[in-house]
Amino acid sequence: MRLGIMGGTFDPIHYGHLVAAQEARAALRLDPIVFIPCRQPPHRPTPPAADAEHRYAMTIAATCTNPSFRASRVELERPAPSYTVDTLRWLHDEEPAAELFFITGADAVRELATWREPERLVELCRFVAIARPGYDLGGLERDLGEFARAVSPIQAPGVDISSTEIRQRVSQGRPIKYLTPEPVEAYIVKHGLYRGDDQPDEKGGDQGCPSRSTSATCHGA
């Protein structure tokens, strides 16, 4: 099995993530691809804007129509911060025969040498790097040195969307339609996410976060 892993904060998930995963899948014949929302990224000083359970629910909403895509709770079940090396160790133990491919944008992959245990990371998986508008894949050897050998750059249509932009748009009352799948857009509206006020859910109808499952296994696996 050639298992693709798309890690991220997914605050919220958008078409940039989905296109990157789909292009990596096609280029390297990966199947399935597991989307893993983190509890708290190690490098960020501030916590994500949306609760981890909301980010996980949106990840399911965005991926459930693709038979090759899965969503996993593995990083939600561990205490923060979420280290990729711990997740890859867990996946390796769960699926010892699988080849692991960790899919990243060109911005994230450049920081690889600063991640926890980079030497172990590159033993556990191959990195797949996708250019994103504003971040090309030139000069990887200069920036990553020996770790550049662990990275496969792939071509994909540049999708100029970021979660930051979506959060800003929602807080300013601007549209996010066609930047993320419709169920994600509807979920953001329904739960009042990213509005930047003190009312997390609309119309007093606090339906709260989706119920938690106790297992850390992948949905649909």
Kindly state the smallest distance separating residue 21's Cβ from ligand ATP, in Å: 9
The owner of tokens 């971040």 is 135
Kindly state the smallest distance separating residue 50's Cβ from ligand ATP, in Å: 10
Kindly state the smallest distance separating residue 163's Cβ from ligand ATP, in Å: 3
Asked if 54 and 191 count as a contact pair (C-beta separation under 8 A), the reply is yes
Catalog residues that contact ligand ATP under the rule CB under 6 A: 8-11, 16-17, 20, 104-105, 107-108, 130, 132, 159, 161-164
Which of these, 56, 66, 64, 59, lies nearest to 31 by C-alpha position? Answer: 66
Kindly state the smallest distance separating residue 75's Cβ from ligand ATP, in Å: 12
Instruction: Give the residue with the Cβ less far from ligand ATP, 107 or 182.
Output: 107
Kindly state the smallest distance separating residue 17's Cβ from ligand ATP, in Å: 5
Nearest residue to ligand ATP by CB is: 105
Which of these, 155, 76, 85, lies nearest to 114 by C-alpha position? Answer: 85
Rounded to 5 degrees, what angle do the CA atoms 15, 67, 13 make? 25
Instruction: Give the residue with the Cβ less far from ligand ATP, 177 or 203.
Output: 177
Instruction: Give the residue with the Cβ less far from ligand ATP, 32 or 37.
Output: 37
Instruction: Give the residue with the Cβ less far from ligand ATP, 71 or 159.
Output: 159
Backbone angles phi, psi at 58, to 5 degrees: -70, -35
Instruction: Give the residue with the Cβ less far from ligand ATP, 21 or 211.
Output: 21
Kindly state the smallest distance separating residue 96's Cβ from ligand ATP, in Å: 25
Instruction: Give the residue with the Cβ less far from ligand ATP, 55 or 191.
Output: 55
What Cα–Cα distance (Å) separates residue 76 from each residue in 36, 52, 173, 199, 216?
A: 9, 7, 30, 24, 8
Asked if 209 and 187 count as a contact pair (C-beta separation under 8 A), the reply is no
- In angstroms, the first-to-last Cα distance of the chain is 13
